[in-house]
């Protein structure tokens, strides 16, 4: 753990209720290099994060998840990261999973690791049915449109080797970025691994409507390329 | 005699021709783009005044009615226009994100210096 320079990137948009706990729990597990990208929040997310002694980059206007991830990954690369982990700000991910997530990269078995919510049936129990259907639907769409296979195309928990982070180009600004990353991994022929993670849903995340918006954007992206 | 529709269409085309000419004169439009638009509107002008003329290109294309040529061409033209707009918007979105990103880096460095 100590020999690799690991940076955690947390994209945050109006997450004042959870951001502090997310940072604190990551630090408790030994992850001290943390970049919070505040994506134009209108609440106190940035000031709360700044009090936690982490790097806080502030988008002056909301640009969406893809843009926030892009900013965080670029900053981590500039700071000399060997491994970059993306982590959600809404407490749905568990910090103890990070170590398992980066293991395949450290062992040289993968360039990109996806924390998949679908690999362990036990872990799936807490997921609402609409989310299950939506996620599986978007996995199929990601495969059909971009030829990229994955068990969880919408996961927010991923790890990139430095090489992978430099190679992948993120062009989309909004939520469709998750599928875009999966597609990029396939297109650039990077080695991908997946490890099971458990997600905890405390609040309402993305809605069914958001799922359809992602679907529309992905089809448009494929058509216009 | 021209029908009311033809008169309205002619007025519309004339207004647009004047508009783009003014734009061209004020150097807000290049020569190539200007000529392209003039050509498009003049063609439409001909079609409006002599609708029967469209039967010639219709015959070339194997279509029975002249009006079909106009409709198909219009749809094709609109599609191109939308595609162009899509590309432009994508580019602008990308540029905005690049700017927002640069500003976030700059502001962070400034804050670090203050500390």
Query: So where are chain A's domains?
Result: 6-224
In order of A22, A114, A206, B42, B44, the CA distances from A145 in angstroms are 34, 19, 22, 42, 40
Tell me which residue in B83, B90, B100 faces A61 most closely, judged by beta carbons.
B100
Let me know: does A107 contact A30? Beta carbons within 8 Å. Answer: no
Residues of chain B with C-beta less than 8 angstroms from the C-beta of A219:
none
When pLDDT is cut at 50, 70 and 90, the band that residue A151 belongs to is very high
A173, A176, A216: best mutation site toward chain B, by most B Cβ within 10 Å? A173
Q: How high is the ipTM of this complex?
A: 0.89
Beta pairing, strands A34-39 & A158-161: unpaired
Contact with chain A for residue B96, Cβ under 8 A = yes
CATH topology (fold) of A6-224: Spore Coat Polysaccharide Biosynthesis Protein SpsA; Chain A (3.90.550)
Q: Do B90 and A224 lie within an 8 Å CB cutoff?
A: yes
Residues of chain B with C-beta less than 8 angstroms from the C-beta of A74:
101
Q: How far is A71 from chain B (nearest CA, A)?
A: 6
Q: What is the mean pLDDT of chain A?
A: 93
Task: Average the pLDDT over A182-195 and give the result.
Answer: 95
Q: Do B101 and A74 lie within an 8 Å CB cutoff?
A: yes
- Predicted pLDDT of residue A202: 73
Let me know: does A164 contact A185? Beta carbons within 8 Å. Answer: yes
B97, B107, B109: best mutation site toward chain A, by most A Cβ within 10 Å? B97
Backbone angles phi, psi at A160, to 5 degrees: -125, 140
Let me know: does A141 contact A149? Beta carbons within 8 Å. Answer: no
When pLDDT is cut at 50, 70 and 90, the band that residue B106 belongs to is very high
Closest CA relative to residue A200, chosen from A125, A121, A130: A125
Tell me which residue in A60, A75, A224 faces B86 most closely, judged by beta carbons.
A224
Beta bridge partners, A196, equal: A116
Tell me which residue in A57, A67, A75 faces B97 most closely, judged by beta carbons.
A67
Q: Do A37 and B104 lie within an 8 Å CB cutoff?
A: yes
- Is residue A192 over pLDDT 70? yes
When pLDDT is cut at 50, 70 and 90, the band that residue A203 belongs to is low
A202 vs B100, residue with greater confidence: B100
- Is residue A2 over pLDDT 60? no
Tens digits of per-residue pLDDT, B59-90?
888 888 888 888 898 899 999 999 999 999 99
Tens digits of per-residue pLDDT, A153-168?
999 999 999 999 999 9
- Predicted pLDDT of residue A39: 97
A87 vs A124, residue with greater confidence: A87
- Predicted pLDDT of residue A1: 46
Tell me which residue in A37, A58, A224 faces B107 most closely, judged by beta carbons.
A58
Q: What percent of chain B has pLDDT over 90?
A: 57
Provide the token pair at B29.
Answer: 């439009």
Tens digits of per-residue pLDDT, A10-64?
999 999 999 999 999 999 999 999 999 999 999 999 999 999 999 999 999 999 9
When pLDDT is cut at 50, 70 and 90, the band that residue A122 belongs to is confident
């Amino acid at each position: 753990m100590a020999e690799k320079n690991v940076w955690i990137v947390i994209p945050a948009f109006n997450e004042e209720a959870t951001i502090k706990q997310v940072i604190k729990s990551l630090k408790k597990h030994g992850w001290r290099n943390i970049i919070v990208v505040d994506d134009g929040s209108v609440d106190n997310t940035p000031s709360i994060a700044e009090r936690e002694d982490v790097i806080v980059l502030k988008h002056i206007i909301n640009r969406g998840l893809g843009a926030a991830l892009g900013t965080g990954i670029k900053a981590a690369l500039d700071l000399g990261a060997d491994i970059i982990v993306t982590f959600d700000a809404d407490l749905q991910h568990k910090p103890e999973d990070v170590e398992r997530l980066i293991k395949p990269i450290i062992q040289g078995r993968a360039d990109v690791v996806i924390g998949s919510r679908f690999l362990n049936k036990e872990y799936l129990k807490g997921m609402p049915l609409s989310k299950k259907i939506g996620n599986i639907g978007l996995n199929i769409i990601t495969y059909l449109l971009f030829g990229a296979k994955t068990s969880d195309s919408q996961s927010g928990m991923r790890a990139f080797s430095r090489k992978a982070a430099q190679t992948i180009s993120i062009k989309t600004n909004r939520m469709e970025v998750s599928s875009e990353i999966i597609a990029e991994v396939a297109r650039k022929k990077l080695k991908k691994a997946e490890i099971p993670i458990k997600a905890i849903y405390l609040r309402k995340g993305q809605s069914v409507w958001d799922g359809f918006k992602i679907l529309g954007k992905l089809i448009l992206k494929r058509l216009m390329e | 005699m021209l029908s009311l529709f033809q008169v309205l269409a002619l007025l519309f085309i004339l207004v647009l021709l004047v508009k783009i000419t003014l734009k061209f004169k004020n150097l807000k439009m290049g020569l190539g783009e200007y000529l392209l638009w003039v050509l498009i509107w003049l063609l439409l002008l001909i079609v409006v005044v002599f609708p029967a003329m469209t039967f010639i290109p219709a015959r070339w294309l194997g279509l029975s009615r002249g009006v079909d040529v106009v409709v198909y061409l219009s749809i094709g033209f609109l599609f191109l226009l939308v595609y162009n707009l899509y590309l432009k918007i994508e580019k602008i979105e990308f540029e905005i994100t690049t700017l927002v990103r640069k500003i976030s880096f700059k502001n962070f460095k400034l804050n670090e210096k203050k500390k």
